[in-house]
């Protein structure tokens, strides 16, 4: 009996010490692998922070606690709660963006000839007095291993909503903001009290919370001020990682493009580099540096986080 307990304990410890290789979207980079949380594993992500240095000396913070659980074989479920703190002139400046709940299913383990594939979905419910309708997303993931490391491909389609607003007039500041040329169409505060998950979480759901996004009245014939318009959002990304098992460390990088249809916003492009390290058999720390270099404004950001894993059989 004592031998049986010792073997089981050793297996649990060995499994936990390899969790640094399991990538979740946004922890610390956007592109993830096609691997679900192990069955009966409870992952607590309570220390996930993001700091954005926007153009024109503006800064933003995001804190996103998340709980995920391996509810079935190759199946995980999660709940996340994005909390934002924006620049000084934003209103509202801070609050809870909403609640996201989703699940992911891994179809197969990787073989010599076949990558691993997974499918995830999420519903995001905005909060606040001006909350918009719920957003839904569907995301596919594939992972293939090679001698130098692993390669990951992600793609998703999601819905999002914006509220039509009155005509806005743009004036040229003394120093124009990069990515926001004078005379261009004003755009809704997509990175304000809005959660663009993952990065933000698994799904590519988009939804504005307490402060509704506003569309310029370029579509006055189609939508009156205050009307809600629903559009689609797509995401395509590729990532690579390299594991150093003797040091329980993973180096990773990714590149992704995303597009918010129907609002005149050009395709956003972002690149990230980061690392994950197994601090203890149950704790993994990670961080990344990213640059949003094309789209409605430029930004540089840092993500930091820690995941605590526990075995919990319900």
Residue 299 contacts residue 283 (beta carbons within 8 Å): no
Supply the pLDDT for residue 285.
Answer: 97
Supply the pLDDT for residue 14.
Answer: 42
Rg (CA), the chain: 20
Instruction: Count how many Cα atoms sit within 13 Å of the Cα of residue 160 in the half-sphere of its side chain.
Output: 29
Give CA–CA dist 250/266, Å, rounded: 33
CA pseudo-torsion sign 287, 67, 308, 46: positive
Supply the pLDDT for residue 278.
Answer: 96
Report how far apart, in Å, the C-alpha atoms of 77 and of each of 90, 248, 276 are: 34, 26, 22
Run of H or E including 6: helix 2-16
pTM exceeds 0.75 for this model: yes
Query: In this predicted model, what pLDDT tens digit does every residue of 12-35 receive, in sequence order?
Result: 444 446 789 999 988 999 999 999
Residues 6+ apart with CB under 8 A from 198: 24, 25, 26, 30, 32, 204
Supply the pLDDT for residue 209.
Answer: 32
Q: What's the longest Cα–Cα distance across the chain?
A: 77
Q: How many CB atoms lie within 10 A of CB 302?
A: 15
Give CA–CA dist 107/91, Å, rounded: 44
Supply the pLDDT for residue 5.
Answer: 32
> What tokens were used for 289?
């540096």
Instruction: Count how many Cα atoms sit within 13 Å of the Cα of residue 128 in the half-sphere of its side chain.
Output: 26
User: Residue 253 burial (CB < 10 Å; 0-12/13-18/19+)?
Assistant: middle
| Segments in the chain below pLDDT 70 | 1-17, 164-226
Supply the pLDDT for residue 166.
Answer: 54
Report how far apart, in Å, the C-alpha atoms of 195 and of each of 143, 161, 311 are: 26, 12, 30
Supply the pLDDT for residue 80.
Answer: 95
How many degrees, rounded to 5, is the angle at CA 294 between CA 288 and CA 140?
A: 65
């Amino acid at each position: 009996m004592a031998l049986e307990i010792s073997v089981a304990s050793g297996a649990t410890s060995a499994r936990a010490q390899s969790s640094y290789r399991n990538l979740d979207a946004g922890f610390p980079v956007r592109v993830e692998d096609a691997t679900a949380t192990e069955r009966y594993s409870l992952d607590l992500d309570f220390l996930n922070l993001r700091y954005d240095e926007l153009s024109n000396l503006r800064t933003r913070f995001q804190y996103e606690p998340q709980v995920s659980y391996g509810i079935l074989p190759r199946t995980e479920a999660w709940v996340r709660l994005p909390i934002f703190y924006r620049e000084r002139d934003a209103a509202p400046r801070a609050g809870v963006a909403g609640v996201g709940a989703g699940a992911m299913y891994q179809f197969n383990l990787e073989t010599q000839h076949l990558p691993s594939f997974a499918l995830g979905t999420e519903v995001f419910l905005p909060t606040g007095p001006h909350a918009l309708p719920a957003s839904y997303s569907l995301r596919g993931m594939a992972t293939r291993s090679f001698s130098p490391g692993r390669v990951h491909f992600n793609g998703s389609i999601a819905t999002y909503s914006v509220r039509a607003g009155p005509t806005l007039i743009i004036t040229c500041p003394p120093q124009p903001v990069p990515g926001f040329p004078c005379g261009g169409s004003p755009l809704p505060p997509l990175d304000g009290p809005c959660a663009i998950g993952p990065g933000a979480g698994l799904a590519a759901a988009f939804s504005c919370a307490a402060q509704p996004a506003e569309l310029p009245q370029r579509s006055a014939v189609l939508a009156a001020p205050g009307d809600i318009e629903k559009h689609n959002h797509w995401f395509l990304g590729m990532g690579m990682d390299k594991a150093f098992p003797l040091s329980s460390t993973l180096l990773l990088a990714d590149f992704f493009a995303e597009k918010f249809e129907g609002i005149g916003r050009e395709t956003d492009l972002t690149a990230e580099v980061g690392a994950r390290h197994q601090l203890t058999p149950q704790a993994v720390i990670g961080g990344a540096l990213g640059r949003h270099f094309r789209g409605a404004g430029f930004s540089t950001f840092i993500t930091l986080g820690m995941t605590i894993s526990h075995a919990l059989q319900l």
